[in-house]
Structure 1
Amino acid sequence: MYSCDILFPAHHQITIIKNPSAAKGRHNHTFFELNCIKTGRCLVELGGHSFFLPAGSFAFLPPDTAHLVHPNQDCIWYQLLIAPDVLEQLLSFDNNIFCEFFLQSVFTKESTDCLISHTASAEPDAWLLLDAMTLECQKADLYSDKMLFHLLLTLFYKLMRIGEMTILGSHDFAKKTHMAVIARYMLQNYTCASLARLADQLNYSLSYCSHFVLENTGFTFKQLQKKIRMQKAVSYLLYADTPVNLIAEQLGYSCSENFMKVFKQEYGLTPTQYRARMKPQ
C-alpha cells in the first residue's frame, strides 16, 4: 500500500481525470474520491470489502482508507479527487446526504463507508457536467477553482435528483451520528475547541469522550485539533495571500512564533518556506 498525494496537482482542490490508468495496488490519500462509471464496470476494493460498480454508478470514497478501483477493458469512467476543505464548504449551503457522508467519515480512522448513487446510464446531464469539469480543470486560471466548485455542487444536486443515494458500510448508526457531531464541532471551533464542551454535546464523561475520539479517529483530542489547524494553515498558504501573522491569529494561536514552530515541526519548513516552495505559480 502506498500514499499517492504526490500524484495530484496542488493547483486545484478538485482534480478530475477521464479514464485514468488503474492504480498498481491498494493505496490511500487525503482526498475524498468520486468514481463515476459511464460504461462498463469497475471493481472497487475498500478496506476489507469489494463490490462492482455498473454503468451509471457513482461511488464516493472516504479519505485515508486503503482502496483500489479496477475498471474493465471497455469501461469509460471519471475519477474526481476532492479536498476535504471543498466539502466543508457544502455545510454552509445545505445539510444533505453528501454533507452527512463528509461529517461521518472526514476524521474516522480507516472508514469503510461508501456513498453510492445509481442512475440511468443514458442520463446525459451528469456526463456533460463531468466533461465540463474535465475541461475546466485543464485551464488552471484564477476562476478554475470557483468554476469547479459550482460544477461539483451542481453534480451533487443532479445526483440527488435523478439517482438513488445509499451509504454502504457500518450499521453502527450511533457511532456515525457521534462522529458527525465531533466533525461539525471541531470544524466550527478548531481555534478554541474544548474537550469538556464536546463531551457535553455528546452527553459523555470527559474520560469516555477522550477515549471515543482516540479510538475512532486515531488521534487524541489535541492532536485532532492540531491536524485541523495545520490543514487550514496549508489552505491559507496555498490558496490565499494571507500574511503568516494573520494566519496564526485566524487559527487561534496566541502569537505567530508559536504557529511557526508547530508548523515547522509538522512539515519541516517554515510557513513562508512552504508557501514559496508549494504555492502554485
Structure 2
Amino acid sequence: VFFKMLKGNNVISEFFLNALYIKENKNILIFHSHLDKNLLDCSLQLFTENYNRFPSYQLIMNNLFEILLCLLLRFKPSHMNVNQVKQYSDIRIIEMLQYIQQWCEHITIQEMAEEFNLSQSYLSKYIARKLGKSFREIRQEIRLEKACEMLTGSNSQVDHIAAAVGYQNVEHFIRLFKKKYHVTPHQYRLNNKV
C-alpha cells in the first residue's frame, strides 16, 4: 500500500518519504476528520479484520488501508497539517526520493544527476548530507522493500523478483536481503504470505 502512495505527488506520499528516508525526521501528519462517517467505517472495518483474523484478513486489511489513505487525500488542505519537532521543508530531496522510488530498478547516480541538472559528485554529497545515507544505500533499501512486496503479493520466483527490482545476480540479491531482514527471501515469503 505504501509503495502505491509513495509514487504520488500528495501530502501523504511526501510525509511517508520523509518518515522513511530523511534522518532525524520527527513529523506528525494530522487530519481533522470531524467524525467523517466513511473514515470511521473504514477504521472500524480495519479494526474488526485485525481482531477476527479470518482467512485472507491481511489482504482485506491492505485494501482497507489503501481506501483509508485515499479517503484522507480527499480532505481539504485546511483540515490537515504537519506538526514538526524539527522544521524540514526541502522539496528537492522529496522529488529525488520519489524519482528513485519510481526508477529504482535501473537508475544510476549519473542518470539521476542528469535528471536534476547536477554534477554526480554534488548529488552524491547532497543526498548523503540530507539523508545520512548514500545513493546506493537508499536505492538498495527501496529495491529490497519492493522485493518484500513482491514476495508476499505474488508467486513469482525469487530470481524473477531479483531481476525485477534491479539485481541480475540472484545470489547477491539473497545475501543483501538476508543481511537486511535476517531471513532468506523464501523464508520471508513463508513467514509473511498473505
- Do the structures match in fold with TM over 0.5? yes
* Category of TM-score, reference length = shorter chain: 0.7 to 0.9
Partner residue in 2 for 1:137? 50
Partner residue in 1 for 2:157? 243
In structure 1, C-alpha distance between the alignment counterparts of 2:54 and 2:176, rounded to whole Å: 31
Partner SS, residue 204 of structure 1: coil
Partner SS, residue 21 of structure 2: coil
In structure 2, C-alpha distance between the alignment counterparts of 1:268 and 1:119, rounded to whole Å: 40
Letter in 1 for 2:97: A
In structure 2, C-alpha distance between the alignment counterparts of 1:199 and 1:208, rounded to whole Å: 9
Counting only pairs closer than 5 Å after superposition, residues 265-276 of structure 1 correspond to structure 2 as 265-276=179-190
Larger RCO of the pair (alpha carbons < 8 Å, separation 6+): 2
Equivalent residue in structure 1 for 2:82, among 130, 150, 167:
167
Contact residue 238 and residue 279 of structure 1 kept, 8 A: yes
Letter in 2 for 1:167: V
- TM-superposed deviation, 1:186: 0.9
Is it true that 1:147 corresponds to 2:60 in the alignment?
no
In structure 1, C-alpha distance between the alignment counterparts of 2:33 and 2:60, rounded to whole Å: 27
In structure 1, C-alpha distance between the alignment counterparts of 2:50 and 2:17, rounded to whole Å: 26
- TM-superposed deviation, 1:251: 1.3
Is it true that 1:178 corresponds to 2:92 in the alignment?
yes
Letter in 2 for 1:191: E
- TM-superposed deviation, 1:215: 1.8
In structure 1, C-alpha distance between the alignment counterparts of 2:50 and 2:30, rounded to whole Å: 24
Equivalent residue in structure 2 for 1:256, among 161, 170, 188:
170
In structure 2, C-alpha distance between the alignment counterparts of 1:269 and 1:124, rounded to whole Å: 42
Contact residue 181 and residue 202 of structure 1 kept, 8 A: no
TM-score, structure 2 normalization: 0.81
Letter in 1 for 2:65: F
Q: Deviations over 1:62-92 (max 9, x none)?
A: xxxxxxxxxxxxxxxxxxxxxxxx2331356
In structure 1, list runs of 5 or more residues that go unmatched: 1-85
Q: Structure 1's 161 and 266: CA in aligned 2 closer, same or farther, altered over 3 A?
A: closer
Q: Deviations over 1:204-253 (max 9, x none)?
A: 32222111211222211111111112222222223332211111110111
Partner residue in 2 for 1:43? none
Q: Structure 1's 275 and 204: CA in aligned 2 closer, same or farther, altered over 3 A?
A: same
In structure 1, C-alpha distance between the alignment counterparts of 2:187 and 2:33, rounded to whole Å: 46
TM superposition outliers: structure 1 runs of 4+ over 4 Å: 122-125
Equivalent residue in structure 1 for 2:111, among 197, 202, 209:
197
In structure 2, C-alpha distance between the alignment counterparts of 1:223 and 1:241, rounded to whole Å: 27
Partner residue in 2 for 1:113? 27
Q: Structure 1's 243 and 208: CA in aligned 2 closer, same or farther, altered over 3 A?
A: same
- TM-superposed deviation, 1:161: 4.4
Higher strand share: 1
Partner residue in 2 for 1:35? none
Partner SS, residue 116 of structure 1: strand
Letter in 2 for 1:215: R
Counting only pairs closer than 5 Å after superposition, residues 14-33 of structure 1 correspond to structure 2 as none
TM-score, structure 1 normalization: 0.58
Partner residue in 1 for 2:3? 88
Aligned residues with identical type, % of pairs: 26
Partner SS, residue 235 of structure 1: helix
Q: Give the total of aligned pairs.
A: 190
In structure 1, C-alpha distance between the alignment counterparts of 2:92 and 2:165, rounded to whole Å: 25
- TM-superposed deviation, 1:99: 2.4
